[in-house]
Structure 1
Amino acid sequence: MALDFSGQNLQGRNFKGRQDLAGANFSYADIRGANFTNANLRGANFSHAKAGLKHHWAIFLVLVSWLLSVVSGCVWAINGLYVSQIFDLSSKESQIEGWIALITLIAVLIGTISKEERYVLVAVAFVAFAIGTRFAGFGGGLGALAVTAAGMIPGDFALVFAVARAGTFAGTFAGVGVFAVTGALAEVKIGVLALMAPEAIPFIEARAENFAVAGAVALLTMYTRWRAMKEDEKDSLVRIRNTAITYAQIGGTSFRGADLTNANFAYATLKSTDFRDTTLICTHWQEAKMLDYVSPGKTYLDNSQVRQLLVTGQGQDKNFNRENLRGINLQKANLADASFIGADLSEANLQDADFSRAKLKQTQLDATDLTGATLTGAYIEDWGITNTTKLHGVRCEYVFMRLPTKQNPDPLRKPDNKKEVFADGDFADFIQPIFDTLDLYHNQGVDPRAIAIAFKKLVENHPEAELEIVAIEKRGEDKILLQAKTAAGSDKSQLSAEYFDDYNQLKALSQSQQLLLIEKDNYIRDLQNMITTALQESKYNIQGNINNMSDISGINIQNSSNVSGIAGGGSVANLGTISGNVSIALNQLPDSPEPDKPGIKELLSQLQDAITQSSHLPEADKAEALEQVKTLAEAGQNPQESTKQKTAKTAITMLKGIFAGLPTVATLYEAANKLLPAIAKLFNLG
């Protein structure tokens, strides 16, 4: 029987490592300061629970924030004293020290604030210089400029820590203290400046203007750090926020390393809570409070946009491309027009979610529950569904097999007739791929009669394998892929080896000897005719009229559209899975530190897109090329290691060989000639 802690005061309780908490009820409980490290909390109910810090810890950390504010202000006051030495005309050494301090300060500002903040700072500095010049001439203007620069950052870190720790009210209170310290220190600097630069005294006398400038700088500082707390992507000081959040959860509720599969945090208050290294499969977050103030580690909670989606269930028209969302719970979420290109949604709960017109290109959906989801108008190019993907009750009138373009806004609509839609239940039957197949690829001197005889012999020798042909596909010139569905647990390696042993022996026989083997055998003749037809057609798919084959026991030719990885097109479905695996590998690489200069991740992403979109490359070659891109992505995690460089060199050589036969006008040919040398250079391969 599950334990019941609902409504109890569990502040500071230690549940570390306990394995008997699966399904436990912690609803409405006070779990501030509780320790659930490495506990088994599968299916536990934390709805309306209150997590975070106990009161004495909160007070202590706010006091620490104030201490940091004072220390920070004092440090920057000393910096201001050094800057003011610029006006010490009696000592060149002092002036040099002052200029060095000012230049260092400006360099720090440029390196730690965003482009937008630099514009504001320049504007404030210009106003300060103008006021100083108005009252004290050029020297006073320089003095005001120095004071503005020296007063820019005091209290930044302390303010962020205070807001992270104490929330809105106490954070604002701490911010007022920072403002006061900033203003007071600016006045001290101005006084010192007056002593060292007498010509600036008229400017100093205009104290109201000086304090206004210092106040404007302090307010700008507070606004900047507030933006950092909101994770504005344009603010380079977001890293300070992350440090502050980690600091703020010391002594708070800890779920570190816990198993929170199917746990429920609906309406819970989660400030100062540690979720690092936790298992968050299908965890429920509806209307959770202060989720922005948790320590997420490397879980999907690290993304602010994902956190907002989890809390509100509203992700319409949002971009989640290439995000790792494995195990996320988006049940009943509104995801219409959202983009999940290359994202990993494996093991996710997407029941009754609305994916209308969503972009699901190369999205990984292994073991994902799409029961009752809406997929009308979705773009499912190369998506990675598997035999464990749940599609029961999916609502879908039509889908598109490619992403839209300006020239073709409705690419490869299914059903093809725009006046038709899928009936209830038809979509799942249409889209369900066949994954458990034996793939028999013939690439040299294909002999249809030998194929037919060898396959019949394999069927007769292994009735337990329940072999059924599901696809015959032409691959380039004189190449054939024969796919057969097998029973679960069949040893495909053994079946393939036995088949090709017989096939190669049969190929060596004369035509007369082969004919003796198939005399009066309609089974073999019909299969031979189908393979011969496949070789003669530029594009061949079985269109499933089993009545055309006479007495073919054990072989069932099923309906197969074989379009872009959908029903019956097992090879193409595998291509989608491979491409999705490439996307996952690319997500492990860091972004380029220079936005205008692509790194390994960006170059390989461009190459991946060029390969998947190529109309000149056979799909078998596409699969091989994508495997090489995946190899490069894995090597790119340590591009300076000699072993990784050798691996990358081999992969690039393989890619060049695959692309060698492309026409020079092909988009992929042009992209490869541009991207491969750039990739090689990043691996120091010359």
Structure 2
Amino acid sequence: MTSTAKNYAGQNLRGKSFKGQDLSEADFSGADLRGADFTDAILRGANFSKAETGLQKRWFIFQLVIAFFLSVFSGLFTAYTGVVTTLFPAPYNIEILRIVPSLVIIIIFCVAIIRQGFTATAFVMIAGALALLTFVFALLGTVALPILFGGVVVALALLILSWTFALSGTIAFIGALAGSCYGALASLFVEWFGAGSVSSALTGAVILASGTVLLSVYAARRAFKGDRKFDRLLKFIIGFTSIGGTSFRGADLTKANFTKAYLKSSDFRNSRKQATNLTRTIWNQAEKLDRSRLGTSILSNPEVRKLLVTGKPNQSKSYEGLNLRGANLDGVYLEGVNFKRAILSEASFCNANLEAVNFTEAQAIGTDFTGAQVTGACLEGWSYNHSTKLDDVE
């Protein structure tokens, strides 16, 4: 392949395919790259500053439509579950006990999700609590199957609604409201079956539908605020919203520049042919990088990603044991930072302030410290070789 270094600055390149091309040093600054395909392309030193990546409008509209219908589906079934749990005889014929299953189900979900997030532990807690609830109501003389049915439906509805609220809160709310209203109206026909009352069925429908919607809003917000307990939900959301987005899968982005680029719904995972190369790529002030698919790269770690984007260490100034292989930290002020046992091989610290930095047992094979200030740094037990650059170091 021969290099086709070109000037694409400011151009509309939506949906264009550059798959497998050699575009080293090409200028894409300020370009509209939504939906573009750079899979397996060579983009060494390419300039993507202020470029916009992500979804084309048709894909975005498609996702909104899917989100709307899924939220309708979720709202409908959670409301319908509230009706089902009130169709069966109330224990000791006490009418108020008809709405207890719906109320207890949503309480169980709220406690588990708020305390544990979207984790296996949370759903084990929910399953155990629902099993106990089913057993208790069976002893009280009511049919317990609707309780287990309700738990399964609410779990599915919660996952779908959390995702749709994260994608588009307005669309999700309208869809969930429409589905909930339709499901609640089903309670008006409860008397046809000769069980329960309209009021108890309607109350059960409202409790489950409203509770699920509110809990979904909470889960979506916590996911986007970086709460580790909701990592799985966030990965699910980002995975779907990146379908049809800009692809950099398997691309060689060595020293590429993404300064101030808008990177929502992009894909930086490895391709089937090769791994994506992000060695010394510049991410300074890149926007929405956390909303892209980052695979297993160093960017998948929130602490490392924040450092590369903002150029400012975290409050603790500690990156002990973290993987920063190939990170570009040229000119960054890192005085007093702890890189003990960190992987810094192939990283670049040119002209960076590394005074009093702790490099104890750090890996610095092939790392570039040209022009860096390392006065007072601790280098005890660190690993380096002939490829480690220490030119003009103070």
Q: TM-score range by the shorter chain?
A: 0.7 to 0.9
Structure 2: how far apart are the matches of 1:49 and 1:246?
Answer: 21
Is 1:224 the counterpart of 2:226? The answer is: no
Whole-angstrom CA distance in 1 between matches of 2:378 and 2:68? 53
Counterpart of 2:338, as a letter, is S
Q: Which residue in 2 is equivalent to 1:304?
A: 302
The 1:8–1:307 alpha-carbon spacing in structure 2 relative to 1, beyond 3 Å, is: same
> Aligned residue for 1:113?
113
2:239 aligned with 1:241:
no
Asked if 1:5 is matched to 2:8, the reply is yes
Structure 1 residue 155: Cα displacement: 4.6
- C-alpha deviation, 1:391, in angstroms: 2.1
Choose the corresponding residue for 2:17, options 7, 14, 18. 14
- Of 39, 42, 47, the residue aligned with 2:41 is 39
Is residue 172 of structure 1 aligned with residue 169 of structure 2? yes
| Distance in 1 (alpha carbons) for counterparts of 2:337 and 2:185 | 54
Instruction: Say if 1:255 and 1:202 are closer, same or farther in 2 by CA, change over 3 A.
Output: closer
**Distance (whole Å) between structure 1 residues aligned to residue 36 and residue 351 of structure 2:** 35
Q: What is the DSSP-based 3-state SS (H/G/I as helix, E as strand, rest coil) of the residue aligned with 1:273? A: coil
The residue type paired with residue 255 of structure 2 is N
| Deviation digits for residues 368-401 of structure 1 (CA, Å, limit 9, x no counterpart) | 1122333344443322122222223334xxxxxx
**SS class of match (2:70):** helix
Contact 2:355 2:375 in 1 (8 A): yes
Structure 1 residues 264-343: aligned runs within 5 Å: 264-277=257-270, 278-316=276-314, 317-343=316-342
The one of 59, 67, 74 aligned to 1:57: 59
State which structure, 1 or 2, has the greater radius of gyration over its C-alpha atoms.
1
Match of 2:357, as an amino acid? A
- Corresponding letter in the other structure for 1:308: K
TM-score of the pair, normalised by structure 1: 0.45
Shift of 1:336: 3.6
Distance 1:301 1:257 in 2: 15
1:102 Cα deviation (Å)? 9.9
Question: Residues of 2 paired with 1:204 and 1:157: CA distance?
Answer: 24
Code of the residue aligned with 2:6 in structure 1: it is L
* 3-state SS of paired residue (1:381): coil
Gapped regions of structure 2 (runs ≥ 5): 127-146, 271-275
Q: Which amino acid aligns with 1:227?
A: R
Partner of 2:348: 349
Name the CA distance, whole Å, in 2 between partners of 1:322 and 1:382: 14
Query: Aligned runs of 1:64-463 on 2, under 5 Å?
Result: 64-85=66-87, 87-88=89-90, 109=109, 113-115=113-115, 155-162=157-164, 165=167, 171-177=168-174, 180-181=177-178, 184=181, 187=184, 215=210, 218-235=213-230, 238-277=231-270, 278-316=276-314, 317-395=316-394
Whether contact under 8 Å (1:160, 1:241) holds in the other structure is no
Q: How does 1:604-623 map to 2 (within 5 A)?
A: none
The one-character-per-residue Cα deviations of 1:87-134 (angstroms, maximum 9, x if unpaired) are 45699xxx9xx98x999x68994997352668xx99xxxxxxxxxxxx
Amino acid at match of 1:368: T
Aligned length: 354
1:160 deviates by 4.4
Tell which deviates more after alignment, 324-333 or 313-322.
313-322
Contact 2:354 2:373 in 1 (8 A): yes
Q: Distance in 1 between matches of 2:360 and 2:106?
A: 46
In 2, Cα distance between equivalents of 1:84 and 1:204:
5
Q: Percent of counterpart pairs with the same letter?
A: 36
* TM alignment of 1:528-677, pairs within 5 A: none
In the alignment, what sits opposite 2:135? Answer: none
Residue 510 of structure 1 corresponds to which residue in structure 2? none
Between the two structures, name the one with larger relative contact order (CA 8 Å, sep ≥ 6).
2
- Which has the larger strand fraction? 1
- 1:57 partner SS: helix
Task: Find the counterpart in structure 1 of residue 130 from structure 2.
Answer: none
Q: How far apart, in 1, do the equivalents of 2:107 and 2:277 lie?
A: 42
SS in 2 for 1:226: helix
Higher mean displacement: 315-324 or 346-355: 315-324
CA contact (8 A) 2:319 2:340 kept: yes
The DSSP-based 3-state class of the residue aligned with 1:173 is: helix
Change (3 A) 1:176 1:107: closer
CA distance in 1, matches of 2:158, 2:28: 38
Deviations 1:258-286 (A, max 9, x none): 10001011111111111112100110111
Give the aligned residue type for 2:54.
G
CA distance in 2, matches of 1:333, 1:196: 73
Runs of 5+ unmatched residues, structure 1: 123-144, 166-170, 396-686
Normalising by the residue count of structure 2, what TM-score does the alignment of the two structures yield?
0.75
Deviations 1:212-250 (A, max 9, x none): 896465323202122113331133xx2122122122111
Q: Which amino acid aligns with 2:279?
A: I
- Matched residue type, 1:311: V
- Asked whether the equivalents of residues 84 and 192 of structure 1 are also in contact (C-alpha less than 8 Å), the reply is no
* Aligned-partner Cα distance in 1 for 2:190–2:334: 59
The offset of 1:257, in angstroms, is: 0.5
| 1:478-497 pair list within 5 angstroms | none
1:385 is paired with a residue of what secondary structure? Answer: coil
Partners of 2:261 and 2:222 in 1: CA distance: 25
Give the root-mean-square deviation of aligned CA atoms.
4.1
* 8 Å contact kept, 1:10–1:30: yes
Contact 1:363 1:383 in 2 (8 A): yes
Residue aligned with 1:41, SS: coil
* Distance 1:223-1:369 versus aligned 2 partners, 3 A rule: same
Provide the rounded CA distance (Å) in 2 between the counterparts of 1:33 and 1:184.
37
User: In structure 2, how many angstroms separate the alpha carbons of the residues matched to 1:112 and 1:40?
Assistant: 47
